[in-house]
Amino acid sequence: MSSTTLSIVAQRLLLPSLVSLLLLIVSVISDDASTMPTQNMSHKERAELREESREMFYHAYHAYMENAYPADELMPLSCKGRYRGVTPSRGDMDDILGNFSMTLVDSLDTLVLLGDFAEFEHAVKLVIRDVQFDSDIIVSVFETNIRMVGGLLSAHILAEYLQKQADVMHWYKGEMLEMARELGYRLLPAFNTTTGIPHARVNLRLGMKDPQLKKSRETCTACAGTILLEFAALSRLTGDPIFEVRAHAAMDALWKLRHRGSDLMGTVLNIHSGDWIRRDSGVGAGIDSYYEYLFKSYVLLGDDKYLARFNRHYNAVMKYVSEGPMLLDVLMHRPHAKSRNFMDSLLAFWPGLQVLSGDLKPAVQTHEMLYQVMQMHTLIPEAWTVDFQIHWGQHHLRPEFIESTYFLYRATGDHHYLQVGKRALKTLQKYAKVSCGYAAVNDVRTGKHEDRMDSFVLSETFKYLFLLFSDPQDLIINVDEFVFTTEAHLLPLSIAQLGNSTFSFRQSDEHNVLDFMRTCPSSNKLFPEKVRKPLRNFITGSCPRTISGKRLSALDFQASNADHLRAVYDMGITMVSVGDRSQGKVRLFHSFYNAKSQEEGEMGLQFMQEMLELTKMQSMNQLAQLQAVAYALDEQSQDWTALVAGPSHFSPELIGEQFVEGEVVLASPFRACDEKLENASDISGKILVAERGDCTFVSKARLAQKVGATALIVCDNVSGSSGETQPMFAMSGDGKDDVAIPVVFMYSQEFTKLSAAMQRRPQLRVRIMQMVEFKRWQLAKEAHQNETAAAAAAAALAAGTMPKKKPDKEL
């Protein structure tokens, strides 16, 4: 590589090419040839897999065209099309549909990559003839932008490319660009908000005047932050600046809403006030492509401010969210507190983004974790817990894992990633292929299919598989001259030359030089196999031995790891069980005399100090998340008691002085899983109590909300369980944020006390609030009572009415 190229990458003086970044990484990695893996894939096998991925695309594409077109999607089990307003509704999930032949539009650029110019030309003619947008239909702004606007723009760009390079399609006069412009204008009313952050949904014909959208106020961070690539390209190709202006304004508004202490973002916000509704922060659902578009907006448009913002967020994610190869959501305002105990499959895009930004080692680590999840469950489930058990069992044929596999292979040349791709391909062939396309899997444990084939299967999943097994010379275009959008549509880097209304923010007070420190790939010598090897048995629990010379930290310590136990013993630390062994509680003692050496003894002292800080932090985090169900001991008493309860991930969080107070009533039937409650008329304005079981937590919450309850208490169905002896957990939802009432969980022993109070007082009123706020409230009451008593005593003393104190009994 020439010094000129290195200078361009290092100093960012010119618009960077992704291939420059990738080649630089490859040149770094290839220095250590002695560690090159031996199980290389032959050219013959790779070519066979490339052709198999091509056949997979056509099997799905022809099934759609022959059985579903012009519908938006193919239903592969029914072998017919899915139309909005005709096919039975799936609720909010159908907001992606607009009766605009989405799967065909989404697939157009894949046809070009496959070299099928004849079918591409035929498909373009169909789109121009059949697709229209003047429909009284509410659609998702985010999905319509990435799938439809992005698909039309990419197809337009490639059509003009083929006119010049392949001497075909001379009849084409930019019709798809005009269609993209029309659709863009139909999305613009969503941006008319006080913050500039767009509504989540819009009516294609009526804009925001649709009565169903009058109460629209919430959107997700990814929904609002995944617009700029398509809208900037639309503005620069049409010469109409309004699209890019609105998209920049939305990104600027989102940036201002970050938590200034942690630099993290939440996942759901109010578009009018800018208030956060869900403060969970991670890299998965609800926030994923916001990070992606920050970095890719810098690459495509050359605007430094997006690189600076990406780096600030990236550093925060790696500090708070990343735990080794895992990525666990935290609270943006309390970043040391975990907000949920599971990971979702959308985070699988993250290693690919890390590759593009130059941070290869953690990309290899997280990808290896994901690959082990796939091996463990055959297909990557929609979500899995921190101990890698299935949380949500669906597999929707998502592309993110294959996308990251592709970028890791391009960056490293390591044939391990070809083998990973082969396994992913063969698994899809075995478990998802049906006679009429490819069907999503409803539960990876049973293999049962779902009548669903999303458009991204053709737009992304099969596209990345084909690219993974293709050499650059196999492709009709040089993909390194393009940026892939989040829907894998291709936008050329040359778009930046069509006009640039942005400017450098390096001198702005908003950013400093540290925000630009991660602009180039790490130059550390690294080969992926060296990174993967220690993680080889990460999920199965067979941990590698502690590396000699590296101090074991308290955060990394695992009491079940024999090497960790040996390491702490060498540091002079002994462990003694406390109480019931089944509870796993231990006490640590440190002595310099028992240490293997003075250096080990000092390391042991540091370990103990870290353990103390970690214990304090965990206690504070647990207390901050605990909820209280409080009530007065009797109707005349000013004394209150509180029962401990756990929070939920799908309901509003009661923080600070916020609370809900009301009369409590038991659901009938008690488990609240029927569509109708027998005592529904008695529940409105009250706090409902329901038992765990028979249906999901969030289903109970939706039913409680439907009948007018102000809050829901879910009690455990396991006899004898108690919050004093068992760890409190937060109830998980199903990914939809439609519960507006607080929901808390209570173990059975605590509910027994509440039930007894309800029997004594049939109209018992309780207050649901944070436990830490209840403690503060009680302390404040006690302080006020003490002050009142002291003042009364002083007044009595001054009046001479103070009773004489009885002398103490002498011994």
Closest C-alpha to 556, from 223, 325, 378? 325
Q: How confident is the model over 665-685, as a mean pLDDT?
A: 88
Q: How confident is the model over 662-666, as a mean pLDDT?
A: 92
Q: Which of 4-18, 88-102, 113-127, 501-515 has the lowest mean pLDDT?
A: 4-18
486 is in an annotated binding site: yes
User: DSSP letter string over 66-134?
Assistant: HHTTTSSEEETTTTEEE-TTTSPP-GGGGGG--SS-HHHHHHHHHHHHTT-HHHHHHHHHHHHHH----
Q: Is 598 exposed, middle or buried (0-12, 13-18, 19+ CB in 10 A)?
A: exposed
Q: Which of 109, 116, 143, 570 is catalytic?
A: 143
Contacts of 32 (CB under 8 A, 6+ apart): 525, 527
Q: Is 681 exposed, middle or buried (0-12, 13-18, 19+ CB in 10 A)?
A: exposed
Where along the chain do its domains lie? 43-80+341-472, 83-321+477-499, 562-622, 627-783
What tokens were used for 621? Answer: 């985090």
Distance, in Å, from the CA atom of 653 to the CA atom of 663, rounded to the nearest integer, reads 20
Does residue 549 have a pLDDT over 60? no
Does residue 33 have a pLDDT over 80? no
Q: Which run of H or E residues covers position 290?
A: helix 288-301
For the chain, the maximum distance between any two Cα atoms, rounded to a whole number of angstroms, is 114
Q: How far is CA 514 from the centre of its chain?
A: 26
Does residue 602 have a pLDDT over 90? no
Q: What percent of the chain has pLDDT over 90?
A: 59
- Count of CB atoms within 10 A of residue 800's CB? 6
Q: Which of 106, 280, 382, 515 is catalytic?
A: 382
Task: Let me know: does 72 contact 97? Beta carbons within 8 Å.
Answer: yes
Task: Read off the pLDDT of residues 191-208 as tens digits, 9 standing for 90 and up.
Answer: 999 999 999 999 999 999
Residue 619: the pLDDT is 55
* Buried b or exposed e, range 562-597, using 16+ CB within 10 angstroms: eebeebbbbbbbeeeeeeeeeeeeeebebeeebbee
Q: Which of 39-53, 271-285, 325-339, 508-522 has the lowest mean pLDDT?
A: 508-522
What tokens were used for 666? Answer: 């038991």
3-state secondary structure of 691: strand
Residue 313: the pLDDT is 97
Q: How far is CA 667 from the centre of its chain?
A: 34
Residue 238: the pLDDT is 96
Average pLDDT, whole number, for the chain?
85
Task: Read off the pLDDT of residues 215-267 as tens digits, 9 standing for 90 and up.
Answer: 899 999 999 999 999 999 999 999 999 999 999 999 999 999 999 999 999 99
Q: What percent of the chain has pLDDT over 70?
A: 84
Q: Which run of H or E residues covers position 662?
A: strand 660-666
Beta bridge partners of 330: 281, 338
Per-residue pLDDT band at 731 (split at 50, 70, 90): confident
Q: Which run of H or E residues covers position 433?
A: strand 433-434
Residue 455: the pLDDT is 98
400 is annotated as an active-site residue? yes
Q: Which of 109, 210, 400, 737 is catalytic?
A: 400
Contacts of 431 (CB under 8 A, 6+ apart): 378, 379, 441, 447
Task: Let me know: does 764 contact 729? Beta carbons within 8 Å.
Answer: no
Q: Between these two residues, 631 and 143, which has the higher pLDDT value?
A: 143
Domain 83-321+477-499 architecture = Alpha/alpha barrel (1.50)
- Cis check for the bond before 241: say yes or no (omega within 30 of 0): no
Q: Residue 782 — φ and ψ, nearest 5°?
A: -65, -40
Distance, in Å, from the CA atom of 711 to the CA atom of 665, rounded to the nearest integer, reads 11
Does residue 116 have a pLDDT over 90? yes
Residue 616: the pLDDT is 61
Q: Which of 135-149, 425-439, 604-618, 753-767 has the lowest mean pLDDT?
A: 604-618
What tokens were used for 111? Answer: 């046809």
Distance, in Å, from the CA atom of 354 to the CA atom of 531, rounded to the nearest integer, reads 15
Residue 9: the pLDDT is 32
Does residue 510 have a pLDDT over 70? no
Does residue 92 have a pLDDT over 60? yes
Considering only the top CATH level, what class is 43-80+341-472?
Answer: mainly alpha
Place of tokens 């999901």: 696
Does residue 416 have a pLDDT over 80? yes
Does residue 30 have a pLDDT over 50? no
**43-80+341-472 shares its CATH topology with 627-783:** no
Closest C-alpha to 697, from 723, 665, 672? 672
Task: Read off the pLDDT of residues 630-662 as tens digits, 9 standing for 90 and up.
Answer: 888 877 767 788 888 888 888 888 877 788 999
Q: How confident is the model over 468-475, as a mean pLDDT?
A: 94
Does residue 808 have a pLDDT over 80? no
678 is annotated as an active-site residue? no
Q: What is the dihedral of CA 480, 458, 448, 93, to 10 degrees?
A: 100
Contacts of 600 (CB under 8 A, 6+ apart): 570, 571, 572
Beta bridge partners of 490: 484
Distance, in Å, from the CA atom of 492 to the CA atom of 479, rounded to the nearest integer, reads 9
Q: Between these two residues, 101 and 628, which has the higher pLDDT value?
A: 101
Q: Which of 126-135, 314-323, 631-640 has the lowest mean pLDDT?
A: 631-640
- Cis check for the bond before 70: say yes or no (omega within 30 of 0): yes
Q: How confident is the model over 422-436, as a mean pLDDT?
A: 98
288 is annotated as an active-site residue? yes
Residue 360: the pLDDT is 94
Place of tokens 């640039």: 500
Residue 201: the pLDDT is 97
Q: What is the dihedral of CA 196, 197, 201, 203, to 10 degrees?
A: 10
Q: How confident is the model over 666-681, as a mean pLDDT?
A: 87
The C-alpha R_g of the chain, in whole angstroms, comes to: 30
Pick the CATH number of 627-783 from 2.60.40.10, 1.20.1290.10, 3.55.40.20, 3.50.30.30: 3.50.30.30
Task: Read off the pLDDT of residues 783-796 as tens digits, 9 standing for 90 and up.
Answer: 777 777 777 777 76
Does residue 453 have a pLDDT over 70? yes
Per-residue pLDDT band at 807 (split at 50, 70, 90): very low
Q: Is 803 exposed, middle or buried (0-12, 13-18, 19+ CB in 10 A)?
A: exposed
Closest C-alpha to 289, from 357, 216, 338, 220? 220
The pTM for the full model equals 0.66
Task: Let me know: does 589 contact 576? Beta carbons within 8 Å.
Answer: yes
Per-residue pLDDT band at 522 (split at 50, 70, 90): very low
663 is annotated as an active-site residue? no
Q: Residue 81 — φ and ψ, nearest 5°?
A: -85, 155
3-state secondary structure of 586: strand
3-state secondary structure of 686: coil
Task: Read off the pLDDT of residues 474-487 as tens digits, 9 standing for 90 and up.
Answer: 999 999 999 999 99
User: DSSP letter string over 373-386?
Assistant: HHHHHSS--SEEET
Q: Which of 94, 210, 244, 288 is catalytic?
A: 288
